[in-house]
Amino acid sequence: MKLSMREDGTRVLDAQGYSDYRLQIAVRNFLDIMKSGERAELVFDDLESHEPIELVLHSKGCEILEDIASGGVFRLKVKR
């Protein structure tokens, strides 16, 4: 798992290789460090976790700005 921040202030969580419960916990912990109004991009490759991650995002008050799937990799751009 890699955490980074782009020059524009967008936080990035690259959780490729994580699946199911471990991925959901990583996303929850990542969202807990975000402040209201911040933007983030979640990158993961576990198809079965896509819907549960969306539920986590909504439960934490995040808005999904963009949902991209390409080559088995999912990118969710969100705003808290």
- Written in H, E and C, the secondary structure of 20-68 is HHHHHHHHHHHHHCCCCCCEEEEEECCHHHHHHHHHHHHHCCCEEEEEE
In 3D space, the residue among 65, 58, 10 whose CA is nearest the CA of residue 35 turns out to be 10
Question: Where does the pLDDT of residue 69 fall: very low under 50, low under 70, confident under 90, or very high at 90 and above?
Answer: very high
**Do residues 12 and 38 make contact, with C-beta atoms less than 8 angstroms apart?**
no
pLDDT of residue 66: 97
- Rounded distance, CA 64 to CA 54, Å? 8
pLDDT of residue 21: 87
Q: What is the pLDDT of residues 22-61, one digit of tens each?
A: 999 999 999 999 999 999 999 999 999 999 999 999 999 9
Question: Where does the pLDDT of residue 19 fall: very low under 50, low under 70, confident under 90, or very high at 90 and above?
Answer: confident
Indicate the average pLDDT of the chain: 94
